[in-house]
Copies of this chain bind each other. A is one copy, B any other.
Amino acid sequence: MADNKTGLELRSLIKKSGQLEISLARVPVPEPAADEILVRVEASPINPSDLGLLVGAADMTTAKASGTADAPVITAKVPEAAMKAMAGRLDESMPVGNEGAGVVIKAGSSEAAQALNGKTVAMIGGAMYAQYRCMKAKDVLPLPEGTTPAEGASCFVNPLTSLGMVETMRREGHKALVHTAAASNLGQMLNKICLKDGIGLVNIVRSAEQGDILRKLGAKHVVDSSKPTFMDDLTNALVETGATLAFDAIGGGRLAGQILSCMEAAANKTAKVYSRYGSSVHKQVYIYGSLDTRPTELVRNFGMTWGIGGWLLFPFLMKIGAADGARLRQRVVDELKTTFASHYTKEVSLQEALQLDNIAAYGRRATGEKYLINPNKGG
């Protein structure tokens, strides 16, 4: 199937009729301009943030496979009620895959591009679930000798997000952090960063097994939201760490509000006078994921000094500027095989990524389970 002029690219399309269609398009291999390089993509993770674009609001229990083994097609229904939120992407065949890594196989004439020829590089910018990706030379992250594409595939989203959480904590005047779905790949990185930097971190997990994963990494504060003592356990951990800022990957249900309630209870343990407006300590939760797509429910028993908001990596990087962004990226490269090492459940080809059993597995968004796509696997 492979030739030198075309390559496969995964596409997600939601039609006006309410049908999701995921397929592999055969597209021309781009010719790099002077300041560009052409990368053979060999590793690209399926992050929760990719699933949003890949399956959109479709109900994947309705998913059906068709097409051929080489050119599989997946279709599924988008519920009527969810179509409004999809309005912006209707009838547009969209490439997917935020980040990845691969080998530079062709370079433009510029010195910067030529210097990368044959190098393994990490990339961010979408359309990574493809055999070839053309990038500006200045936008890629060259990986140190001896780094494989699989090792460098997740250089951006999780590493920069976890570093961004710590950076946000410092910039907004908090002294410790709370994190939910804390046994995730991202959560494990955050634990390593906080242990290394001496920052208090309260990990909220949903099962004993997830707690064990973190304790093995050396996590000091792990609380289990499935236990009846959860609220007390969380409050105690907040008193011990002084954490007044949380990053929440769950989004839906009562958890974000419960964190604020416990922060308020922790603040009031040391309060001297009663104020019916609650403590004057600012309590903040940033929702950066949506593992639970139900509504967020806030039982407002945490006074008036609080905030909840969305948090997203790219606007954050824009806000801190190029110099600070470069500092964070350098740390990722320096600690790629330690702090920022990622582990994958399974490596799949583009075709395998479109098999129903694999979709069911990575679509679960289960903590600690992560798929890696190698668009050139066996190719």
Contact = CB atoms under 8 A, between A and B. Distances in A.
A211 B232 CA distance: 46
Nearest to A257: B295
A113 B309 CA distance: 47
Contact of A276 (B52, B277, B306, B314): B52
Nearest to A318: B280
Contacts of A308: 307-309
Interface in A63-114: 84-85, 87-89, 92, 94
A85 B264 CA distance: 10
A81 to B, nearest CB: 10
Contacts of A276: 52-53, 56, 89
A85 B290 contact: no
Given A251-B300, A296-B300, A297-B297, A268 B88 contact: yes
A298 B253 CA distance: 9
Nearest to A311: B304
Contacts of A301: 84-85
Contact of A88 (B271, B287, B288, B310): B271
Contacts of A257: 295
B92 A277 contact: no
Contact of A305 (B84, B296, B310): B310
Contacts of A295: 257, 297-300
A84 to B, nearest CB: 8
A348 B298 CA distance: 37
Contacts of A84: 301
A252 B257 CA distance: 13
Contacts of A312: 277, 304-305
A295 B301 CA distance: 9
A255 B203 CA distance: 32
A315 interface: yes
Contacts of A92: 274
A261 B306 CA distance: 21
Interface string A243-274: 00000000110000100000000001001001
Given A271-B88, A315-B280, A303 B310 contact: yes
A283 to B, nearest CB: 9
Interface in A218-254: 251-252
B296 A298 contact: yes
Contacts of A287: 300
B305 A306 contact: no
A91 to B, nearest CB: 11
A251 B302 CA distance: 13
A306 B300 contact: no
Nearest to A288: B304
A298 B298 contact: yes
A56 B274 CA distance: 12
A219 to B, nearest CB: 27
Contacts of A87: 268
A191 to B, nearest CB: 24
Nearest 3 Cβ contacts at the A-B interface: A307-B309, A304-B310, A88-B274
26 contacts: A52-B276, A53-B276, A56-B276, A87-B268, A88-B268, A88-B271, A88-B275, A89-B274, A92-B274, A251-B300, A252-B300, A257-B295, A290-B300, A295-B299, A295-B300, A298-B298, A304-B310, A304-B311, A304-B312, A305-B312, A305-B315, A306-B309, A306-B310, A307-B307, A307-B308, A307-B309
